[in-house]
Structure 1
């Protein structure tokens, strides 16, 4: 529970810094009076109840893929349970789109969180305002710089710091609630209903800002594999939810007595002497929230690479004990550049709030659609119960998504542009790989035919391992080796790495071997989409493919294809073929990705048209 509080709830825990303020002075300002204060608080309470408690904790977290959660894990779970259905392609598209929307969220969260915390300096003293941007950028640059060193040691402090932060939220809230105890009646849904009846249009538009209180909820599901469903659920119900609501109610009580405090109710809840320390603890909390999102971006990218939606990217392990702690330089520096652009471009957290929300609501709406497939087709719930549950989720998510769409002109376009670019990259790579594999298969020959034709070739001593992207046919490197070198090794291993639709594979199910005859063996190594491939380590466990492996007498042959974009074949648009060719050229070498011994690798190149 302590670990879950430190990592999972950093994002949603920092929402009180800006959610209440933006509801009143955001893109659609409204009067700071009793009806609107109570209406907003009622919407926040019941949104957290329906979206976080019911949808994610009670329902979505039951949809685990062998303990793992998140959009790609849910996609893999449904695809494995219902293979070959006509709507599988649409489901894959939705899962990829949810992943792309997450990248937009991963850029905005560090920027708005750190900015909103550092802006507390202006409440301490107005003369400190010029320092807000430089300090925010310095904190963010420092945060991204430490990623390469790993966050294991820093992570050990996350839980206690966030615990102190949540205790501070609760204490500030209770201090102000005592002044206006009638604010507790805002928990009644009647206030939200009255708000909508009084001014339906304004209430609908206000939901775009109210939703800021819910951002970070999807992290509960995505991080389920790290802490478990029970730890996340108990910590939400027992600590996080009560502390958040106490703080929101405290902000509402403050506004009842002092409407002018709407400029920054979070910091103005505290007495003058406590505001500077509050800036410090809030800044630490936002750094932790940002760290969780950055780590999530690394994890999601790794899953996308393993599932074939992104090229191989250089991935470094920052912990000898925890396999999930990884660092991907390309993602780290891209996020840093985009976060700095956001801070310099939007300047204030109020401006960034308009860009925040649409990506999260889109992800939540997609999750609801995928859950619908799960409860109707896989779990086979009672139709009426399933329709009521999914219908409620769809209504809430749909209204919030529609409200956030109104923020597109004010900055909501940014995460949509990021998602569109990411979606183009992921689908181009997946489609290009499929086309290239098809092109290579056209020139391939059946393994049995090749074994017979190679019988007369000279057999060199040692073992040759040829990497093959498919478990059928002959890899191009093997064909080129025989064609140009006129030689075949005594033992030939055709090796395929196959990533399954589950997070992890049991060690006893890792290796699959097949003796083809004449010294040829086909070996398939199965991995989960959250695992790292370690080919030398796993080959050392193979005993039924012509004997044990000695790395000093084993050569690894890799095929490196140079793609030629052309209009001659009906594949992708020419610009997408060129994009795929650039991605193929820029991808990390299979030698490094699969941890092959550097001095035992031979690459054979060929040209391919798609």
Structure 2
């Protein structure tokens, strides 16, 4: 047995390196062994706990009486108060119980926890208490679980504890990936590469950058502290901080979302918040005993996320204040002799009304734009998933003859922004559906620029435009070649999928039908012709600068945002936009 001060650091580091190195294979390939390992472990500690209760002190069940809790509080001193922080290690992991909702349903988590995990833990800790009552050591051990195991089962305990530790660590890592992915959807975290590791389970993701950062921090903590007590103090502070924040947010949910009265929300916050605040104060007493590093990491992470969110919102506000209306575009075209060139232009922007400043800047300098324009905006909605039938909102900007459209793509915080590599082809199909449905009764949402039609993801049946796959193993376009060359030479910008040629698709109109008006068919034909002429993608390349006289806090946050923006994943990579067809328009944003 290792003592507290003789932690097997090399073995722990080796296990950590192996665990993080295997993450890119995805949990679905090894996940089938997780459930048996955890079930066997819970049954094992339940049996050991029951054995210890019967063998050592079955009177320990009296400890469930609230009388002993009252005695503890009444006679408490600073040493006993500090020990409350160690109690939190008994519930480590429960604060992240619902973080894996992308992998399991709420019902399965509730049933498993109530009827299996909770009884097993109660038996385990009650058994340890029975063992301690007869085998107390004044030297003080961190855990008596290993000592309470019967000698004939020590080898079984060692193997099971190692396997269960790996499974528990895997669950925490996976939960971290899921939470970061949701933060990305909400615009609260810098852009990072997200890889979906399973075709069946939508929520299983792998984030390489976060994986290696976690590995580095885990190794640094293991090598730096080399004492499980210091790590335990930090873990206790992390658990109670998470619980207290969740309680505060839950009180807002009770008042605002559930529409309960303020007294119910206040009672909830007081009852649960006071208990958690008591444990938090106990954990803060261990600040100098290892918990300090957690506060440092928390501060760095929180400041980075706040700076990113602040910079993103300021850019959005700048775009809103400097946007121009569609009337400006219709007025400037005949005045300055703006030319319409063949092809389709996809303009990616965050605003959902008006024309973004970077595109008006582009037009006034080049005096030309494509014969078909589609303004594309991605908007997160406060639901986990948006059904495919409600995915797209399509509307028209200006007169029909201008062929300018707006597409708002809605997604939930658990959805991937681009679910397919044929995203632009889907946009063309949905735009065709909009053109054919515009004059009919359908689900309509009103916007300041006119009506917008709700259109789902195109299906094989009932398409207005018929896609024809022309991908050939012997034919590669210039865009395909540049994409493959970029993937080979610029690995740091690699996408979420292995190198592959972009799918070559052309569109055909359906056979003539008396149900389709001539004007609709003419507009659809122009859309198809524009697609055949080529596609261009427009992105705004912003450069933030702080106005003179701004306060220090604002300058500090913008400085951090600029640093993160320069070192995170580029937007064109996140949107899977080919370099050969990209047009970036640079602008200086004065914040």
Scaled by the length of structure 1, what TM-score is found? 0.75
SS in 1 for 2:394: strand
Give 1:357 shift.
1.6
Answer yes or no: is 1:419 the counterpart of 2:298. yes
Q: Residue 144 in 1 paired to residue 20 in 2?
A: yes
Q: Quick check: 1:275 aligned with 2:161?
A: no
More divergent stretch after superposition (197-206 vs 339-348): 197-206
Between 412-421 and 271-280, the greater mean CA deviation after superposition: 271-280
The partner residue of 2:2 within 122, 128, 139 is: 122
- Relative contact order (C-alpha < 8 Å, sep 6+): which is higher? 1
- Deviation sequence 1:215-256 (CA, Å, 0-9, x none): 212222333453223222221121111111111111111112
Partner of 2:9: 133
**How many corresponding residue pairs?**
486
- Computing the radius of gyration over CA atoms, which structure comes out larger, 1 or 2? 2
Structure 1: stretches of 5+ with no match in the other structure: 1-120
Alignment partner of 1:495 out of 349, 358, 376 = 376
| Alpha-carbon separation, structure 1, partners of 2:70 and 2:94 | 24
Question: Which of these residues, 236, 240, 251, is aligned with residue 357 of structure 1?
Answer: 236
Q: Contact 1:564 / 1:581 at 8 angstroms: preserved in 2?
A: no
SS of residue paired to 2:346:
strand
**1:254 to 2:131 alignment:** yes
After superposition, the Cα gap between the structure-2 partners of 1:310 and 1:224, relative to the gap in structure 1 and judged at 3 Å, is: closer
Structure 1 residues 486 and 389: alpha-carbon distance in aligned structure 2, compared to 1, 3 A threshold: closer
Aligned equivalent of 1:431: 310
User: Matches of 1:269 and 1:201 in 2, distance apart?
Assistant: 29
The correspondence of residues 185-264 of structure 1 with structure 2, limited to 5 A, is 185-224=62-101, 226-260=103-137, 263=141, 264=143
CA distance in 2, matches of 1:142, 1:359: 25
Counterpart selection for 1:471 from 352, 355, 361: 352
Which runs of structure 1 show a deviation greater than 6 angstroms over 4 or more consecutive aligned residues?
none
3-state SS in 2 of match to 1:403? helix
Unpaired runs of 5+ in structure 2? 436-522
Q: Which residue of 2 aligns with 1:285?
A: 164
Contact 2:13 2:222 in 1 (8 A): yes
Partner secondary structure for residue 97 of structure 2: helix
| Distance (Å, rounded) in 2 between the aligned partners of 1:301 and 1:315 | 9
Q: Quote the residue 2:452 is aligned against.
A: none
Seen in structure 2, the aligned counterparts of structure 1 residues 137 and 552 have a Cα distance that, compared at 3 Å, is farther
Tell me the SS of whatever aligns to 2:109.
helix
Structure-2 separation of matches of 1:498 and 1:551 = 29
Q: Is the 8 A contact 1:466 1:477 kept in 2?
A: no
Between structures 1 and 2, the one with greater helix share: 1
Deviation of residue 599 (structure 1)?
4.0
Deviation at 1:436, TM superposition (A): 2.4
**Pair 1:574–1:332, CA change in 2 (3 A):** same
Distance 1:486 1:527 in 2: 35
Q: How far apart are residue 343 of structure 1 and its match?
A: 0.5
**Does the aligned pair in 2 maintain the 1:311–1:587 contact within 8 Å?**
yes
Q: Output the aligned Cα RMSD.
A: 2.5
Report the TM-score, using the length of structure 2 for normalisation: 0.77
- Which residue matches 2:409? 525
Partner in structure 2 of residue 539 of structure 1: 427
SS state of the match for residue 275, structure 1? Answer: helix
Aligned-partner Cα distance in 1 for 2:162–2:548 = 54
Give the equivalent residue in structure 1 for 2:490: none
Preserved CA contact (<8 Å) 1:536 1:596: no
